[in-house]
Amino acid sequence: MRFKTHIQNLPAYKPTKLITGPTTDLIKLSSNENPLGPSPKAVAAIQAAAAQIHRYPDASSMALRQALAEHVGLTAAHVTCSNGSDELILLLCLAFLEAGDEVVMAEGTFISYLLRTLELAAQPVRVPLQHYTHHLAAMANAITPRTRLLFLCNPNNPTGTTNGAAELAQLLEVIPDDLLLVVDEAYIEFALRPDYPDLLPHLRDGRPNLILLRTFAKIHGLAGLRLGYAYSHPDLIAYLERVRPTFNVNLLAQVAGLAALADQEHVVRSRDHANASRTTLTSGLEALGLTPIASETNFIAVHVGDDAAVSDALRQQGFTITPLSGWGLPGLIRISFGTDEQNHAFLKALRTVLSR
């Protein structure tokens, strides 16, 4: 076979290692999932629709798009749905990048931006974080006439930090008309700062070069169902339709998404739980002499020294977390919030690991 060299050279996705070691009840704190589980209303909707899965889904996800549009005061033409927001990152790269084009992103952010850019033989331009936060002025300076996309993860995975409205407004002012600003808001529902940027008014005003990525995987607890969506200008949404696989959002995901969106009680419960977990883990980590990064998400990152060794040792204690060397942040680990019981048990395990 003749493989494409730039694809052959890509690192393959490494899924969390299979469960081995002293415990079979490995507690997974490595994927920023919702420890409270899915919205019960979404589960009921899936059960009610299960007997219909011999049918293809609505290829346009229209009912869900309409609900998502109404939720924020836009129209269905401003919305597209996807097989997880990860698929949207791929579709954006497919739709906008040619070999050699440049993509500005942070070094120390969600890894899909880098991988999908490389798949298209485009050129990642990685800008170091500043105080574990996107350095927007430096990212703006990294833009050249070849830059087609700029990825901004706000709040940022894996550091949990955010950028505020004033610096976002500045960035929006300086980016060229032919550059698409992709703001990945997968964790928006957890953001805390009062000046967290609301970018929807730009879309209501018709801004053509901005897209906001969102997901049902985090606060709604539907990670396994694979459901993401985006808000953007209708022309850009229509353009993405050209690369979107026809039935990318399955029938159960569509009904579950509608039910989850209507279940704001689950959203509030999940946010309250994340806030409580953050307090527990922050003070617990500080009590171990560590300095966690202030997080506005459902996970927390902290410097522990040898992230790979600590991760392996935690695994032996029954916990999976994410070592961040591979994300450009050597020495740090990322811990997703668990249930109250899991959070306390994790801190105990970490104490054991660090005291060795």
Ligand X SMILES: Cc1ncc(COP(=O)(O)O)c(C=O)c1O
The window from 3-11, 35-43, 83-91, 248-256 that contacts ligand X (CB under 6 A) reads: 83-91
Q: Which of residues 129-188 bind ligand X (CB under 6 A)?
A: 153, 157, 184, 186
Taking Cα atoms as reference points, which of 124, 119, 116, 118 lies closest to residue 142?
A: 124
**The one among 57, 221, 228, 318 contacting ligand X by CB under 6 A:** 228
Closest to ligand X by CB, 160 or 284: 160
Q: How far is the CB of 100 from ligand X (least distance, A)?
A: 25
Beta bridge partners of 153: 184
- Contact status, residue 281 vs residue 343, Cβ threshold 8 Å: yes
Closest to ligand X by CB, 226 or 273: 226
The window from 70-78, 129-137, 215-223, 331-339 that contacts ligand X (CB under 6 A) reads: 215-223
Q: Which of residues 180-199 bind ligand X (CB under 6 A)?
A: 184, 186
Q: How far is the CB of 169 from ligand X (least distance, A)?
A: 22
Classify residue 122 by its DSSP letter. -
Residue nearest to ligand X (CB): 84
**What are the phi and psi torsion angles at 214 (to 5°)?**
-135, 170
For 56, counting Cβ atoms within 10 Å of its Cβ (0-12 exposed, 13-18 middle, 19+ buried), the class is exposed
Q: Which of residues 24-63 bind ligand X (CB under 6 A)?
A: 32
Closest to ligand X by CB, 317 or 336: 336
Q: How far is the CB of 288 from ligand X (least distance, A)?
A: 26
Integer Cα distance of 124 and 191 in angstroms: 27
The window from 54-62, 78-86, 270-278, 300-308 that contacts ligand X (CB under 6 A) reads: 78-86
User: How do the residues of the chain divide into helix, strand and coil, expressed in percent and rounded to 5?
Assistant: 40, 15, 40
Closest to ligand X by CB, 221 or 284: 221
Closest to ligand X by CB, 134 or 349: 134
Closest to ligand X by CB, 227 or 294: 227
The window from 84-92, 193-201, 255-263, 339-347 that contacts ligand X (CB under 6 A) reads: 84-92
Note the residue count of the chain: 356
Q: How far is the CB of 205 from ligand X (least distance, A)?
A: 25
* Residue 307 binds ligand X (CB under 6 A): no
- Contact status, residue 224 vs residue 183, Cβ threshold 8 Å: no
Closest to ligand X by CB, 158 or 284: 158
- Contact status, residue 82 vs residue 91, Cβ threshold 8 Å: yes
Integer Cα distance of 168 and 154 in angstroms: 10
- List, as one string, the DSSP characters of 138-197: HHHHT--TTEEEEEEESSPTTT-----HHHHHHHHHHS-TTSEEEEE-TTGGG---TT--
Beta bridge partners of 180: 149
- Contact status, residue 287 vs residue 69, Cβ threshold 8 Å: no
Closest to ligand X by CB, 217 or 259: 217
* Residue 86 binds ligand X (CB under 6 A): yes
Integer Cα distance of 295 and 301 in angstroms: 8
* Residue 223 binds ligand X (CB under 6 A): yes
- Contact status, residue 335 vs residue 302, Cβ threshold 8 Å: yes
How many angstroms separate the first and last alpha carbons of the chain? 50
Closest to ligand X by CB, 186 or 251: 186
Integer Cα distance of 3 and 177 in angstroms: 36
**The one among 57, 84, 221, 284 contacting ligand X by CB under 6 A:** 84
Q: How far is the CB of 22 from ligand X (least distance, A)?
A: 28
Instruction: Give the binding site for ligand X (CB under 6 A).
Output: 32, 84-86, 110, 153, 157, 184, 186, 215, 217, 223, 228
